[in-house]
Chains A and B, each alone.
Chain A
Amino acid sequence: MRGEAMIEIKDVHKSFGTLEVLKGINLSLEKGKALAIIGPSGSGKTTLLRCFNLLEQPDRGQMTIGGTTLHFQPGSSIRQADTLALRKRTGMVFQSFHLFPHMTAVQNVMEAQVTVQGKSKAAARERAEALLAKVGLADKADSYSHQLSGGQQQRVAIARAMAVDPDVMLFDEPTSALDPELVGDVLKVIRQLAAEGMTMIIVTHEMRFAEQVADYVVLMDDGIIVEEGPPQQVIGNPQSQRAIQFLNRVTNYDVT
């Protein structure tokens, strides 16, 4: 691909027991671009996303993020220091938020700045408050997660992930646990990040959103990438039979 590759993975394989979930994935993404991963349930989207910050360790293959390259082989594990270094470069937003419930919103956003980056509390708080303001939650800084709506929790989670200045943001269906009326606020925040040039990978079922935000789309099925390219092409004019079937099911478009 053109430009400087922020992320590149080659021939990534991952199995759970005898179930091969990723069957040789190749991907690369330039700095500042947004990639959407779409595909049917169970196709391996979440597993792939989790490989990018080593919540799952690939069995085989190679992965480069922001200049750090890791090689994976069966039986060998990645050094703890490399794992931590890679995780500092990536920010992860989970489907079900996973805010720390014993901390307020602002404390959630401060936590890694203090424990991981070693910032002072005052500096961390300042940045946390700025990030909460950015996601539209300046007034919720002192709320605990049970006092927030799902959409608000997810926006705090986005601020939390952004707080350690990642090179890449990873989103795993960030809106699929939300009531429909709360989806818009979260998508707006992600759209804004994309517009600001944040490199991001988004697993999503929201085809319209993928079309609007993503520079590239990959469509996965059964552990492989069956279609990839700009959204107009993948979502608007898919070639493979599997892609056509999937898109027919999830969109109103007639793509045949």
Chain B
Amino acid sequence: MSEKQIDILLDSILPLLKAGVAFTIPLTIVSFVLGMIVAVLTALARLSSLWPLRAVAGFYVWIIRCTPLLVQLFIIFYGLPYIGIVLSSFTAATIGFTLSVGAYGSEIVRASIQSIPKGQWEAASSLGMTRVQTLRRIVFPQAARISLPPLGNSFISLLKDTSLAGSIMYLELFRVSQEIVARTYEPLLIYCAAAVVYLLFCSVLTWLQSTMEKRLARYSAS
């Protein structure tokens, strides 16, 4: 590496980290939290005994799963202004990723809820607990433990997928690295630096995930 390259690298590291901390991470966390709320509600709707609820939820999951995320983001950010809905790139990205997490997450949540043995429902019912009480006190805590590993994976994927938000003008880590490359003509160096920053964030998340899994696994047979 030449001295000039080292200078460029040193100058780039800070903006890349900043973009990650100020843009990539907030988008990831906000979308994931909102997405999980959507996921749980969608899962409950799909397990509901009311067919209109099941139908709406099934339609939503179908649309989101069977169209590319990038296309969804473009529709939200570039398309909606034509019917008078103008969104900031952060809002548009948050909506897009929330819907995505909600749809994929709902499948995970639904499978986890369905994997709780019928006997748990019956034991709770026989004690006089209502359906809602049973969900809240008996089924969700157990389903959460089962869904944590796959949801952790979704979270980590989401962190990386936020790089797509660069294409709708959101100044996240990848977009910032592209801008630096345009200025410096050092694609190998800068994109590798961006990859290292993603790697760093991802490692922290992976560690957090395994810590949480251990805490939740307290009661399971070892």
Set B119, B127, B145, B218: member contacting A112, Cβ < 8 A? B127
**Known: A112-B129, A164-B128. Contact between A102 and B219, CB under 8 A?**
yes
Chain B residues in 8 Å Cβ range of A112: 127-129
CB distance from A65 to the nearest CB of B (A): 13
Interface size class of A (residues with CB under 8 A): 20 to 34
**Known: A144-B219, A146-B220. Contact between A100 and B123, CB under 8 A?**
yes
Q: Does A60 contact B (CB under 8 A)?
A: no
B221 and A146 contact, CB distance less than 8 A:
yes
Q: Does A88 contact B (CB under 8 A)?
A: yes
A98 and B120 contact, CB distance less than 8 A:
yes
The contact string, 1 if C-beta is below 8 Å from chain B, for chain A 104-146, is 0000000110011000000000000000000000000000101
With CB as the reference atom, state the residue of chain B lying closest to A53: B126
A116 and B129 contact, CB distance less than 8 A:
yes
Chain B residues in 8 Å Cβ range of A146: 219-221
- Cα of A99 to Cα of B133 in the assembled complex, Å: 16
CB distance from B142 to the nearest CB of A (A): 5
Q: Does A3 contact B (CB under 8 A)?
A: no
**Known: A101-B219, A111-B137, A115-B137. Contact between A91 and B123, CB under 8 A?**
no
Q: Within residues 61 to 105 of chain A, which ones have a CB less than 8 A from any CB in chain B?
A: 80, 84, 87-88, 90-92, 94, 96, 98-103
CB distance from A70 to the nearest CB of B (A): 15
Q: Does A161 contact B (CB under 8 A)?
A: yes
With CB as the reference atom, state the residue of chain B lying closest to A116: B128
Q: Does B184 contact A (CB under 8 A)?
A: no
Set B122, B129, B137, B220: member contacting A98, Cβ < 8 A? B122
B126 and A91 contact, CB distance less than 8 A:
yes
The contact string, 1 if C-beta is below 8 Å from chain A, for chain B 25-56, is 00000000000000000000000000000000
- Cα of A240 to Cα of B138 in the assembled complex, Å: 46
Chain B residues in 8 Å Cβ range of A103: 219
- Cα of A88 to Cα of B130 in the assembled complex, Å: 11
**Most interface-central of B126, B129, B133, B138 (chain A CB within 10 A):** B126
Closest 5 CB pairs of A and B: A112-B127, A92-B126, A98-B123, A98-B119, A146-B221
26 contacts between A and B (CB under 8 A): A53-B125, A55-B122, A80-B130, A84-B130, A87-B125, A87-B127, A91-B126, A91-B127, A92-B126, A94-B122, A94-B123, A98-B117, A98-B122, A98-B123, A100-B124, A100-B142, A101-B142, A101-B219, A102-B141, A112-B128, A115-B129, A115-B137, A144-B219, A146-B219, A161-B126, A161-B127
Taking Cβ atoms with an 8 Å cutoff, the residues of B that contact A are 117, 119-120, 122-130, 133, 137-138, 141-142, 145, 218-221
Taking Cβ atoms with an 8 Å cutoff, the residues of A that contact B are 53, 55, 80, 84, 87-88, 90-92, 94, 96, 98-103, 111-112, 115-116, 144, 146, 157, 160-161, 164
